[in-house]
Amino acid sequence: MYESVKRKGATSQTVLPQWVVPAPVEPLPNPTEAVQRALTAHTFRPVSAQRRATQPVLQASQYEQREVQRLATEQAAVQRQLDVLPPLLPATLSAALQRQHTPASPPLKPQSPAEWVTVMRFQAEQAESRLMDVHQAGQFTAL
């Protein structure tokens, strides 16, 4: 903080302290100001450009909200219909499932295209999720 200075013309060589004024320190830039300026420059757009940029997203959000509302309304209507129905007995339910899983036998000699479709569906259901050897696979593809 102080420097030694020699006096000229003095008889004795004594050193007197002398205060030195420090150079003015530049204030550090405020980091929040720099961030604020960068953020403002990055996010500054005219309102019309912002509206054009966000319009598709906002429209999609509105469509989704409408669809969710429509589905909730339909679900509530179906739930009201189900509440009115009498409860199913387990025997009735198992009989219905058996009727559904038992395929009707295909016609023995199909004549019309619809009968051929029935035969092909029956064959496909029989082969579904079943491992076949080469002979069975050849018969299936020969249909």
- Beta-carbon contacts of 104 under 8 Å, excluding residues fewer than 6 positions away, are 118, 122
**pLDDT tens by residue, 52-103:** 888 999 999 999 999 999 999 999 999 999 888 888 777 777 777 777 666 6
pTM score, whole prediction: 0.34
Cα 135 to chain centroid distance, Å, stands at 47
Residue 17 confidence class, pLDDT cut points 50, 70, 90: low
Domain boundaries defined on the chain: 37-83
